[in-house]
Amino acid sequence: MTSGLADSVEHPLASLVAGVRGLVEQHGGAPAWTVSPSQLPGLLAELVAVQNALDAVRLRLLRETDRHQLGEASGHTSTANWWADQARITRPAAHRELQLAESLDDSQHEPAAEALATGEVSLEQTVVILHAVDRLPTDLVGPVLRRDIENHLLDLARQHDPKDLRLLGHKALEVLAPEVAEEIERRRLEAEEQHAAATATFTMRPDGEGSVFGRFKIPVLAAEILAKHLNAIAAPKHQHQHATSGASHEPRVSRPLKLGAAFIEYLQTRAATGTPKAGGMAATVVVTMTLADLTGTSHHPAHLDTGETISASEARRLACEAGIIPAVLGTSSQILDLGRKTRFHTEPQRIAIALRDHGCVAEHCDWPPAMCHIHHPVPWARGGPTSVTNGTMLCPRHHTLAHDTRYQHKTSPGGKVTFSRRT
């Protein structure tokens, strides 16, 4: 009895749809050229707001349809596939609309849902705002901060289109909670570096005509070091020094050919000549960081002189073994110290350490001395000396773990190092 009474009363949303349909049929065909030019901007703005509000109604109805699984009841495999047929849109578009409807139904997105329902934001802006909020890590960004960020982006939506809003969404956390944004950036950099190192590849194959094709995928830092060296070799001054005395004029050579020749020279002479020079300076990557970053008391990203960014842990690892010069900054961003390569162990020291350690000292690792780095057990950045006593051999993988804050390690009386993940 109650159900029959409820079915006989027209729902407000049904009245809305019927009313809009009736008004469109009654007035929608009126010629636009009869509208006064002064009225056109206002009419278009109002029409956009109405369209946004109707989009909100459609998504609420779509969400309710999915809740009752009406799509499956009509023989479709999902509500999204049913909606694609009903709305005559692609299935990916239908799935995106259903996902948006589910997100707006979540109480945490109540501000965005209200803004869309009142026509203040467009559907595309709403998608951008929800994506910016949903991608935030829940362990660092709580409900209150997430709500603040969503409201902040809704305010910005009044003056910015979806493209600008997407960029502002990436910066919202820096504006409202810079310390949280810094921690997220640290995690992102370390995760990218770990993934890049784990997925690095190098392949070569002969072409049958005296040359070899190659492909590689390496971390950004390794690529920047290689680029520095090749650019130094390909520099005009370097080439002039190696040119024959009788050559008065050299033809112009394309940059890929120059770098190809530089790569050959690099491979053939690297061991004998050391780091190539450009403009009288070694082609060395400079890492800029604060003293706190270098000593491990903070986790701000470090910056390469090429413009790239690396994590603080990666920069500290490089302080042990790499062609890297750290430019250490004080609180006023003035250079306190420009580290020198003399912090690296000398060849006699490396030989002595190799004779003592016989390769990587990590438990169960069999990497030979020639493929190992020299690690400072007492970090060089914390005053550790560059000596045989304060030097131990670690392969690249275990050297990375030694500077990874996610791992801890202990040294046995016999000198072997055991790594374990922190809990």
Domain boundary among 122, 153, 187: 187
The verdict on residue 226 lying in a domain is no
Q: Which amino acid does the sequence have at 93? A: A
Give the residue-averaged pLDDT of 278-306. Answer: 65
Express each pLDDT in 310-329 by its tens digit: 887 777 776 665 455 556 56
- Judge residue 2's burial from the number of C-beta atoms within 10 Å of its C-beta, 0-12 exposed, 13-18 middle, 19 or more buried: exposed
Higher-confidence residue of 200 and 249: namely 200
The verdict on residue 150 lying in a domain is yes
Give the residue-averaged pLDDT of 184-207. Answer: 90
Angle between helices 40-67 and 12-27 (to 10 degrees): 140
* 221: confidence class by pLDDT, cuts 50, 70, 90: confident
Is residue 8 over pLDDT 70? no
Instruction: Please count the structural domains in the chain.
Output: 2
Per-residue confidence (pLDDT) for residue 146, from 0 to 100: 94
Tell me the two tokens of residue 37. Answer: 């030019």
* 297: confidence class by pLDDT, cuts 50, 70, 90: low
Per-residue confidence (pLDDT) for residue 400, from 0 to 100: 84
* 279: confidence class by pLDDT, cuts 50, 70, 90: very low
Q: Percentage of the chain surpassing pLDDT 70? A: 80
Domain boundary among 131, 162, 187: 187
Q: Percentage of the chain surpassing pLDDT 90? A: 42
The verdict on residue 62 lying in a domain is yes
Per-residue confidence (pLDDT) for residue 269, from 0 to 100: 65
**CA 368 to CA 299: how far, in whole Å?**
33
The verdict on residue 404 lying in a domain is yes
Per-residue confidence (pLDDT) for residue 334, from 0 to 100: 55
Higher-confidence residue of 380 and 102: namely 102
| Window from 52-61, 109-118, 152-161, 321-330 with minimum mean pLDDT | 321-330
Per-residue confidence (pLDDT) for residue 157, from 0 to 100: 95
Give the residue-averaged pLDDT of 329-339. Answer: 53
The verdict on residue 330 lying in a domain is no
Per-residue confidence (pLDDT) for residue 255, from 0 to 100: 83
Per-residue confidence (pLDDT) for residue 326, from 0 to 100: 56
The verdict on residue 251 lying in a domain is no
pTM: 0.58
Give the residue-averaged pLDDT of 306-310. Answer: 75
Per-residue confidence (pLDDT) for residue 244, from 0 to 100: 47
| Structural domain span for residue 78 | 43-187
Q: Which residues of 51-67 are buried (b: 16+ CB within 10 A; e: fewer)?
A: ebbebbeebbebbebbe
Express each pLDDT in 79-94 by its tens digit: 999 999 999 999 999 9
Is residue 405 over pLDDT 90? no
Is residue 250 over pLDDT 50? yes
The verdict on residue 92 lying in a domain is yes
Per-residue confidence (pLDDT) for residue 280, from 0 to 100: 41
Give the residue-averaged pLDDT of 284-295. Answer: 68
Per-residue confidence (pLDDT) for residue 338, from 0 to 100: 45
- DSSP code of 121? S
Is residue 392 over pLDDT 80? yes
Is residue 262 over pLDDT 70? yes
- β-partners of residue 373 are 394
Domain boundary among 154, 187, 220: 187
Alpha helices in 68-142 (DSSP H): 70-73, 79-87, 91-105, 110-117, 123-134
- Judge residue 320's burial from the number of C-beta atoms within 10 Å of its C-beta, 0-12 exposed, 13-18 middle, 19 or more buried: buried
Higher-confidence residue of 295 and 262: namely 262
Per-residue confidence (pLDDT) for residue 153, from 0 to 100: 96
Per-residue confidence (pLDDT) for residue 329, from 0 to 100: 62
User: Under the phi-then-psi rule, with left for phi > 0, alpha for psi from -120 to 50, and beta for the rest, what region is 141?
Assistant: beta
Give the residue-averaged pLDDT of 337-361. Answer: 71
Give the residue-averaged pLDDT of 187-211. Answer: 90
